[in-house]
Amino acid sequence: MSLCRSKRSPVVSKLLFLSLALVLMSSTALRAQEQNPPKADVFLGYQWLNPGGTVPVGGFPHLQVTPPSPVRTKLPSMPIGYGVTGTYNFSPHWGLSVDVGGNFHDVGAESTISVGPRFIWRSEGVNFFAHTLAGLNRLAPRGVNRSNGLGAVLGGGIDLPIIRALSIRLIEADYVLGRHNFADVVGPQDPQLRHPVLEGVRLRGGLVFNFGGAAPSAPVAASCSVKPSEVMVGEPVTATVNATNFNPKHTLTYNWSSTGGKIEGKDTTATIDTNGVAGGSYTVTARVSDPKVKKGGEASCTANFTVKEPPKNPPTMSCTANPATVQAGTPATITCECKSADNVEVNVSNWTASGGTISGSGNTATLNTNGAPAGPITINATCTDTRGLNTPASSTVTIEVPPPPPPQASKLSSCDFPNEKKPWRVDNTCKAVLDDVAQRLQHDPDSKLVIVGNQDPAEKRKNLAAERAVDSKAYLSGGEAKQGIDASRIEVRTGNGGTKTADYWVVPAGATFTQEGTQPVDENQVKPIPDHPPAPAKKGAGKKAAKPNAQ
């Protein structure tokens, strides 16, 4: 028996090669997964183990060797063993496994109990699985106290389904790791033997019993639908098929046919062209088949659709004018809304008008009312569709009677101021003119008066034009004539007439005075000058009164 320590690399290399082979085999098994996997399964079978480690071993009676202390011994292969695994499946792929295994030999025994996840790829004829387990690794070398250490199992295998309840585990290959402590029997001079690490390989085979799971799949079926189910001639119809209970990993074949129209189908959807189809009811049929299933792998369905002949409804049209009432010479816009209940193309044309001139393009026209008499103007247009059906419509624009011209201010009269000594004085001739002005204002109580005072450039007196205006206002609104005209109806201004005059403008209600070159008079600064000013104050009675408004 060899007393040398086993090497790690050959075992690991074999395990990596085995794992790679399982992955490659799984990648080639691109068949459909079983739709109703069992809820749990239990493996019972034979287990062979190569522990892959060197441990302390006691006496060997059959070799008649009785060493005084444990001997460094490489554990041999253990062909006697058993394996049991129970797995609960959370999904078709994933499950939680509890694994128990044990092997026996004259040199010693090794047993494991582990738990961990399992991934399984289920196909129709073979299942591939891989698991990663962790738990207890128990080692009992001959003649030495047993050791309970941490352990792990990494590997996978192949199951061949026989019937739903039973599969054959063709092979399971696992890497088995165990860490132990024999410090109670090995001295510190050999640390590797005190804490040996087992890196072994185990092989299994046996039976897998499956429990639970859903009932067998229902028969394959197909259901068809069309959208829309009612169309006009020329409109497309989309048909859809929904296949159920087929193997989702198989590529299905779809065949489409229709009793009317040209059908083009791809997979689960088809389009039906109804151009040239007569009105009526038609049927579309879909046949779905699984080429890999010889019996029970085909289903079909139908759906009906209706094609209608296009109706012959004439178009409808309504017209509006904006604005509907205008002055002569003001244009108006006519807009017509033309529609077809049959959704065919329409056009607006044949614009005419009973007055003015009309010019239009499309559904909009412009009415020119220059020279049109007062009264209504009727505008007509025609809506025509591509089939020749037409509908007329009209709108009305009313030409208003021209309104009277707005009131304007007018010059009523003027006064001259010839007095050289008192050039501001309203003389009797001017008073007679102002009497006529007052009479006009009395007969037209809503009108106002604007007095514009003028001044000759040769006249040097300051504010003379303003004095002529305020003196005229004073005569009308008070003063010696006592005409009683409300002063608020009289506005005083100065002009640039260049003459010794005052002009009197009547401003009717609603009119404004727009004479250019005039300025309002500040009546707080320029006061009317009476014809007979008060006598000068006596000497010593105070300062001599200044001449009013004198330069």
* Residue pLDDT tens, the chain, 551 long: 333 333 444 544 544 454 444 444 444 443 334 457 899 999 999 999 999 999 999 865 554 444 457 888 999 999 999 999 999 999 989 999 999 999 999 999 999 999 999 999 998 789 999 999 999 999 999 988 899 999 999 999 999 999 989 999 999 999 999 999 998 888 888 888 889 999 999 999 999 999 987 656 689 999 999 999 999 889 999 999 999 988 888 999 999 999 999 999 889 999 999 998 988 999 999 999 998 887 878 999 999 999 998 778 899 999 999 999 998 889 999 999 999 888 889 999 899 999 889 988 889 999 998 888 989 999 999 999 888 899 999 999 999 888 788 889 999 999 999 998 999 999 999 999 999 999 999 999 999 999 999 999 999 899 999 999 999 998 998 755 457 889 999 999 999 888 999 999 999 998 999 888 899 999 999 998 887 655 555 555 444 444 444 33
Question: Is residue 292 one of the residues assigned to a domain?
Answer: yes
Q: CA 177 to CA 43: how far, in whole Å?
A: 21
Question: Is residue 537 one of the residues assigned to a domain?
Answer: no
Query: Do 50 and 137 fall into the same domain?
Result: yes
Q: CA 429 to CA 475: how far, in whole Å?
A: 13
**Last residue within a domain, chosen from 337, 364, 399:** 399
Q: Give how many domains the chain has, as a whole number.
A: 4
Q: pTM, whole model, 2 decimals?
A: 0.40
Q: CA 205 to CA 320: how far, in whole Å?
A: 93
Query: Do 23 and 121 fall into the same domain?
Result: yes
Query: Do 351 and 377 fall into the same domain?
Result: yes
**Last residue within a domain, chosen from 308, 343, 367:** 308
Spatial CB neighbours of 112, under 8 Å, sequence gap ≥ 6: 99, 100, 101, 102, 135, 136, 137, 138, 151, 153, 176, 178
Question: Is residue 551 one of the residues assigned to a domain?
Answer: no
Query: Do 206 and 235 fall into the same domain?
Result: no
Query: Do 381 and 418 fall into the same domain?
Result: no
Give the residue from 176, 195, 204 showing the smallest Cα distance to 51: 176
pLDDT reported for residue 538: 54
Q: Give the end-to-end CA distance of the chain in Å, rounded to a whole number.
A: 153
Q: Return the CATH number at 418.
A: 3.30.1330.60
Q: CA 100 to CA 204: how far, in whole Å?
A: 12
Query: Do 381 and 456 fall into the same domain?
Result: no
CB atoms within 10 A of CB 259: 14
Tokens of 502: 């005052």
387, amino acid identity: R
pLDDT reported for residue 543: 47
Q: CA 535 to CA 96: how far, in whole Å?
A: 135
Spatial CB neighbours of 350, under 8 Å, sequence gap ≥ 6: 380, 381, 382
Question: Is residue 3 one of the residues assigned to a domain?
Answer: no
Which domain, by its residues, includes 473? 410-520
Query: Do 281 and 384 fall into the same domain?
Result: no
Q: Return the CATH number at 105.
A: 2.40.160.20
pLDDT reported for residue 18: 46
pLDDT reported for residue 216: 60
pLDDT reported for residue 24: 45
The partner residues of 333 in beta bridges, in order of sequence, read 322, 366
Query: Do 147 and 198 fall into the same domain?
Result: yes
Question: Is residue 347 one of the residues assigned to a domain?
Answer: yes
Query: Do 284 and 325 fall into the same domain?
Result: no
Query: Do 195 and 332 fall into the same domain?
Result: no
Question: Is residue 246 one of the residues assigned to a domain?
Answer: yes
Query: Do 143 and 243 fall into the same domain?
Result: no
pLDDT reported for residue 46: 97
Question: Is residue 195 one of the residues assigned to a domain?
Answer: yes
Question: Is residue 80 one of the residues assigned to a domain?
Answer: yes
Q: CA 372 to CA 395: how far, in whole Å?
A: 17
Query: Do 304 and 321 fall into the same domain?
Result: no
**Last residue within a domain, chosen from 185, 211, 237:** 211
pLDDT reported for residue 25: 44
Q: Return the CATH number at 271.
A: 2.60.40.3880
Q: CA 145 to CA 287: how far, in whole Å?
A: 72
